[in-house]
Chains A and B, each alone.
Chain A
Amino acid sequence: MIDFFLLFFLVISAIFAVTTRDILSSVIVLGSYSLVMAVLWTRFNSVDVAFTEAAVGAGITTFLLIAALSRTLRIEEEPEIRESVFPLFQRLKNLLPLFVVLATGAVLVYSTLDMPSFGDPKAPANLHVAPYYIEKSVPETGVVNFVTAILASYRGYDTLGEVTVIFTAGICVILLIRRRKR
């Protein structure tokens, strides 16, 4: 039941964040979206993801977006509406994205019917490498939290790459935005 309310809140805040013209409130709503998402991850027993979502999504991203917003305008401009020569054609053109979204959504919902139920131990994703990590990660690495064991040890190269990406982002910001003393 609580999952239903949380998901409902997610959809509402996502719609609000997209439709509002006030970018500052959109950013703040996205922060609360991430917080609810973190609660949902916790309910799915993936606490490491929840922790990252709360720290990065609800925390630092909001800060960074507001900081970026302080350099630009807060209110989005009204889109320019042009009068078309063929009103009917224009109306059909406006409806086309709705059809595309509905069709894509229908295909996605149809494909979820074939998916294994949540947390099914017989699901293909849980039969491939997951049993190896669950059984071997503690004796092989000595780390009790096997999410950390996978990230730091088995997938060490990926983590090194991720840190390099973050480092590169920081260097780019320094090179592009920092004002040098002349």
Chain B
Amino acid sequence: MKELIIIRVVARLMIPFIQLFALYVIAHGELGPGGGFQGGVILGASFILHVLAFGLEESRRRLSEKVTDLLNPAGLLLFAGIGLICLIGGGMYLEYDRLPVTANPILASQLGIYGIEIGVGITVAAIMVTLFFEMAHRHDD
């Protein structure tokens, strides 16, 4: 595996920046282009780069099956949960203005949108990683 040294060094340098950019895209969806979906895809792509550089075994050691399996529904539940919390505040499902965390409807709406973007990002990133992990060929097949 000595011929992979350039790929590994470059990947090791780039992965933190890609992940930071992905988090920026998720967090910045309200102000500029991007949002949970795009950021989640970029976050998933950073893990796929790790797989390409270091192999499936090493990546699964860093990010175990259990973690991605938990994160898959976690993001969706966060999204649906924010919708349910809006019901507690007296609004309709996903009516963020009525989130019972603050009296200011604009701030509540911003918080709700922020929350669901994070939920979308978590689910999309975890699913992309899961898809790649499961579809990549294992040589012991």
Interface residues of A (CB under 8 A from B): 47-48, 50-52, 55-56, 59-60, 63-64, 67-68, 70-71, 139-145, 147-149, 151-153, 156-157, 159-160, 162-164, 166-167, 169-171, 173-174, 177-178
State which residues 83-116 of B face A: CB under 8 Å. Answer: 83, 94, 96, 106-107, 109-110, 112-113, 116
CB distance from A151 to the nearest CB of B (A): 7
| Residues of A contacting B48 in the complex (Cβ-Cβ under 8 angstroms) | 60, 63
B39: nearest chain-A partner, CB-CB: A55
How many inter-chain contacts with C-beta < 8 Å in the A-B complex?
A: 132
CB distance B120 to A170 under 8 Å? no
Query: Complex formed: what's the CA distance from A96 to B71 in Å?
Result: 51
- Contacts A160-B79, A163-B123: A67 and B110 contacting too (C-beta < 8 A)? no
Cβ contact of B120, chosen from A140, A157, A163, cutoff 8 A: A163
CB distance A177 to B34 under 8 Å? no
B132: nearest chain-A partner, CB-CB: A67
CB distance A163 to B132 under 8 Å? no
CB distance B30 to A145 under 8 Å? yes
B34: nearest chain-A partner, CB-CB: A51
A176: nearest chain-B partner, CB-CB: B134
Size category, B interface: 35 or more
- Contacts A59-B45, A64-B135, A164-B76: A169 and B127 contacting too (C-beta < 8 A)? yes
Query: Complex formed: what's the CA distance from A47 to B132 in Å?
Result: 27
Interface residues of B (CB under 8 A from A): 25, 29-35, 37-38, 41-42, 44-45, 48, 69, 72-73, 75-76, 79-80, 83, 94, 96, 106-107, 109-110, 112-113, 116-117, 119-120, 123-124, 126-128, 130-132, 134-137
Nearest 10 A/B pairs, CB to CB: A70-B137, A170-B127, A142-B106, A47-B33, A156-B94, A67-B135, A152-B113, A55-B41, A142-B110, A177-B134
| Residues of A contacting B135 in the complex (Cβ-Cβ under 8 angstroms) | 64, 67-68, 70-71, 173, 177
CB distance from A147 to the nearest CB of B (A): 8
CB distance from A56 to the nearest CB of B (A): 6
| Residues of B contacting A159 in the complex (Cβ-Cβ under 8 angstroms) | 79, 116, 120
| Residues of B contacting A162 in the complex (Cβ-Cβ under 8 angstroms) | 37
* Chain A, interface SS category: helix
Q: Which of A48, A55, A139, A171 has the most CB of B within 10 A?
A: A55
| Residues of B contacting A48 in the complex (Cβ-Cβ under 8 angstroms) | 33-35, 38
Query: Complex formed: what's the CA distance from A163 to B128 in Å?
Result: 12
CB distance from B132 to the nearest CB of A (A): 5
Query: Complex formed: what's the CA distance from A158 to B33 in Å?
Result: 19
- Contacts A142-B106, A148-B29: A153 and B123 contacting too (C-beta < 8 A)? no
CB distance B137 to A174 under 8 Å? no
- Contacts A169-B127, A170-B126: A67 and B136 contacting too (C-beta < 8 A)? yes
Query: Complex formed: what's the CA distance from A64 to B44 in Å?
Result: 11
CB distance A56 to B41 under 8 Å? yes
- Contacts A63-B45, A67-B132: A163 and B33 contacting too (C-beta < 8 A)? no
